[in-house]
Amino acid sequence: MEQKIRWEQEDTELKHNSTLKQLMREFNTQLAQKEMEFETALKETISKAQEVESELIENHHTETTQLNKKIAEKDDDLKRTVEKYEEMLEAREEEMTAKVHELQAQLEELQKEYKQRMAEEEHRNHENVTIAELKAQLAQKTTLVNDSKLKEQELKEQIHVLEDRLKNYEKKVYVTSVGTPYRDGNLHHTDVSLFGEPTEFEYLRKVLFEYMMGRETKTMAKVITTVLKFPADQTQKILEREDARPLFASPRGGIF
């Protein structure tokens, strides 16, 4: 009985071992198959990944190349733009420099014209002042000349009166037999009968005074030479000497 049980037990163990081995073979077979499938799938995955990577790398390279090309183009455009604006800026700077020089030249010209105009205006004002002064002096001298002419005319009239009186006196001297006006060849006038009236002698005295004071000397010289009957040559010398005097050497004054 025990032998039978042992045999059954051994048979059961053999069956169990056989089943276990069969299971192990099947497991190993499935495992190997799974490994092959995994490897195949892995290889396919790696291949696809490599393809994708290659595609990505190529795309990246293409995009990078295009981007670099665009960057280079943009860089060239930027350089051209910078050069263009630099040229424009340089041209503008030259234009502004030329304009500044032109304005400076215009300013200097305006300053020069202003100074010249101011000088001309100052000169003109000076001339106006000088002309005004000359006009005033001319008016003053004209007034003096006119006054002198009037006084000379008055004196001439008085000279004519004195000449008439002197002629009448000479006639009386040569006609009358009462006394003689000459003594020792000289004309004596111990009294004032030669001038008719004392006022005439006083007038001659005033004329001599004015002449000696240097006022209206030429006119006074004419009066004196006429009244005192100077010879023509002496009268001419006296008048020439008076003409040589300055016309307005000093202020003039009349005798009246």
The secondary structure of the chain in percent helix, strand, coil, rounded to multiples of 5, reads: 85, 0, 15
Domain limits of the chain?
27-144, 145-176+188-243
Reported as a single tens digit per residue, the pLDDT across 3-36 is 777 777 777 888 888 888 888 889 999 889 888 9
CA 131 to chain CA centroid, nearest Å: 29
pLDDT of residue 171: 56
Residue 189 CB partners (closer than 8 Å, separation 6+): 181
Residues of the chain with pLDDT under 70: 127-129, 159, 162-201, 246-256
Structure tokens at 75: 């860089």
Reported as a single tens digit per residue, the pLDDT across 56-65 is 899 889 999 9
pLDDT of residue 2: 74
pLDDT of residue 183: 38
Which residue, among 211, 223, 225, 197, has the nearest Cα to 253 in the 3D structure?
211
pLDDT of residue 165: 66
The beta-carbon contacts of 228-233 under 8 Å, at least 24 apart in sequence, are 229/166
pLDDT of residue 117: 86
With b meaning 16 or more CB within 10 Å and e meaning fewer, what string describes 54-92? Answer: eeeeeeeeeeeeeeeeeeeeeeeeeeeeeeeeeeeeeee
With b meaning 16 or more CB within 10 Å and e meaning fewer, what string describes 126-150? Answer: eeeeeeeeeeeeeeeeeeeeeebee
Residue 214 CB partners (closer than 8 Å, separation 6+): 249, 250
pLDDT of residue 228: 78
pLDDT of residue 21: 87
Q: What is the DSSP letter of 250?
A: S
